[in-house]
Every structure is written in C-alpha cells, then in structure tokens.
Amino acid sequence: QVQLQESGPGLVKASETLSLTCTVSGVSISSYYWSWIRQPPGKGLEWIGYVHHSGSTNSHPSLKSRVTISVDTSKNQFSLRLSYVTAADTAVYYCVRHRGYSGHDYFDSWGLGTLVTVSS
C-alpha cells in the first residue's frame, strides 16, 4: 500500500524559498506521476504541479515562474521548491499520486499534508 509523507520547514520567511520533500513508500516512484497540491487555511484546493521520473514536469501557470519540482528515484522522493514566498503561500501542502491516462489524471493517494506558514 502506497504511503506518502511530506517533510520540510513549517515556517518560512517572506521572500525566501519554501522547500518540501515527499517520501514515497510501498511503490516505486518510477511507476507513476506525482503532484503537489496546496490548501490555504479554510480555503479550497490548488494544484501546484507534477513531476515524472523521466524529468517531465508541468505546473500551474500562476506559479510556474516560482516553482521547481524534482524527483530523486534513488531515494524514492520528489521535492517542491517555491521561491519568493509571500503570506499568500501559507497553506497545507499535500503530495499526491496520480492515476489516469496521459494528461487526464486524478489523485488517488495523498500524504497527510504539512502546514507551511510564511512569516513577515
């Protein structure tokens, strides 16, 4: 059974870079696509971007200039870097696994989520 676990600092200063890692267990990271999704406190869900073990990535146009998503197959992990953060980036960040057909993917397994707060 797949398990995903987010890790990283819970507090980031404004204008700095948010860095999170998702450790995947129970399945090879090379077998699926993987995404980051976030949820500001009390609000809805926003897809941030995905990565594939091949190095293929895609991200939300509104975040594309600040987002880097990478994969480390040797550690069965993938990571998110979000630069120049502001208070609007305060959210619970989830790592998720894709299921579906090329470009038509939904999310069948989720990490527990980690709250990242941006401080001024």
Binding-site ranges for another protein (CB under 8 A): 44-47, 58-62, 94, 99-100, 103-108, 110-113
Q: Which residue's CB is nearer to another protein, number 8 or number 16? A: 8
Least Å distance, CB 107 to another protein, is: 7
Nearest distance from C-beta of residue 115 to another protein, angstroms: 10
Residue whose CB is less far from another protein, 10 or 103: 103
Whole-angstrom Cα distance, residue 81 to residue 19? 5
Between 1 and 74, name the residue whose CB sits nearer to another protein: 1
Sorted by sequence, the CB contacts under 8 Å of residue 29 that are 6+ apart come out as: 53, 71, 73, 76, 77, 78
